[in-house]
Amino acid sequence: KLAVANQCKLISCSSDQVYCGCTGIEPYSEKEEGLAPTNVYGRHKLVAEKRILDICPDAVSLRLSWMYDFPVYQTKTNYNFILALIKSALTGEAGIYSVNDFRGITYVRSVAENISKTFNLTGGVYNYGSENEKNMYATACVFMVAMGMENRIPALIQLTDAQPLRNLRMDCTKLRGCGIHFETTTESINKMIADYPGLF
């Protein structure tokens, strides 16, 4: 309501979790129908999208994927995919990754670099993040190889196929059509490592 009253552009953060419970095997576009998230977080995000656009049709809701970065000094960093892998490398404790789990994982700096471009988007919902064709097991292996630790994959990356299929992959064609581009998850992992020279 404040955005409408003050004629300000409203950018809100939604989530790929709105696709949780969908049964498709291809990446989902914003046109996906019958969304009924199976977790509370996803349901809340979907409700928020609808309420925001009802009040402010010019608003932009960005469906963000899981994000990652390295910790920054004296700054709280949420536990993320990359930190889990680094912890495994440091402790020798293996992580379990499913071949049935598919989702994009996005370097948070790419999110920040693109955010100003969203100010000119037409109101609506946009998938916003890295696309990823790989399952979580294969994605974990990509990071280990990028870190030069492919020889430790058998000890640190445990494969499971026990988990039911979960597909949260997003199709970002609509976003690219507006001139906003993200690296794939594999490309973003290599970009992140290049951003921290000497760390690996």
Each residue of 103-150: pLDDT tens digit? 999 999 999 999 999 999 999 999 999 999 999 999 999 999 999 999
* SS3 label, residue 87: helix
How many residues in total does the chain contain? 200
What pLDDT, on a 0 to 100 scale, did the predictor assign at position 200? 64
How does residue 70 score in pLDDT terms, banded at 50, 70 and 90?
Answer: confident
Say how many C-beta atoms besides its own lie within 10 A of residue 85's C-beta. 23
Residue 158 contacts residue 95 (beta carbons within 8 Å)? yes
Residue 98 pLDDT exceeds 90: yes
SS3 109: helix
Residue 183 DSSP symbol = -
- Distances in whole angstroms, Cα of residue 46 to Cα of each of 42, 49, 89: 6, 5, 37
* Residue 134 CB coordination number (10 Å): 19
R_g of the chain, CA atoms, integer Å: 18
CA angle 90, 96, 101 (to 5 degrees): 130
Record the tokens describing residue 51, joined without a space. 């309420």
Q: How much of the chain exceeds pLDDT 70, in percent?
A: 99
Domain ranges of the chain: 2-195
pLDDT at 73: 76
**Mean pLDDT of all residues in 13-31:** 96
pLDDT at position 4: 86
- Cα four-point dihedral sign 45, 130, 79, 11: negative
Closest to 103 measured CA to CA, from 69, 79, 138: 138
pLDDT tens string 153-175 = 999 999 999 889 999 999 999 99
pLDDT of residue 117: 97
Fold of the domain spanning 2-195 = Rossmann fold (3.40.50)
Average pLDDT over the chain reads 94
In the prediction, which pLDDT does 168 show? 98
